[in-house]
Amino acid sequence: GNSVTQMEGPVTLSEEAFLTINCTYTATGYPSLFWYVQYPGEGLQLLLKATKADDKGSNKGFEATYRKETTSFHLEKGSVQVSDSAVYFCALCGDGEYGNKLVFGAGTILRVKS
């Protein structure tokens, strides 16, 4: 079945450092890919998405490119801020999946120090 694997955390960075959170997936066909962010005490919010190969999703300085050849959707940001501290989830929705079902990775905790 479909699955998502994320790098384990926590990831601890200093403010203005470069961020990469790796995400790879296993799925048949052409799934849609998502990054969700969960701030402390809150629900998940969609950060960015890509629905076909080579698409780049971007939002709030974060970017991720849908790489079909490496089955990856790595999250990057050039300069992190303390306010980016959160849990980040990579997720996919299978090609032709009935039910809008999202399959999530385990989540990666990001801590940014000032």
- Which residues sit at the interface with another protein, rule CB under 8 A? 4, 32, 36, 41-46, 49, 51, 89, 93, 99-102, 104-107
First and final C-alpha spacing in the chain: 41
Q: Which is nearer to another protein, 84 or 89 (CB)?
A: 89
Considering the complex, what minimum distance in angstroms separates the CB of residue 33 from another protein?
10
Considering the complex, what minimum distance in angstroms separates the CB of residue 81 from another protein?
23
Considering the complex, what minimum distance in angstroms separates the CB of residue 114 from another protein?
27
**Bond from prior residue into 10 cis (ω within 30 degrees of 0):** yes
- Spatial separation of the C-alpha atoms in residues 111 and 108, rounded to whole Å: 10
Q: Which is nearer to another protein, 17 or 55 (CB)?
A: 55
Q: Which is nearer to another protein, 15 or 35 (CB)?
A: 35
What is the CA 94 to chain-centroid distance, rounded? 16
Considering the complex, what minimum distance in angstroms separates the CB of residue 75 from another protein?
15
- Spatial separation of the C-alpha atoms in residues 95 and 97, rounded to whole Å: 5
Q: Check if the beta carbon of residue 23 is closer than 8 Å to that of residue 71.
A: no
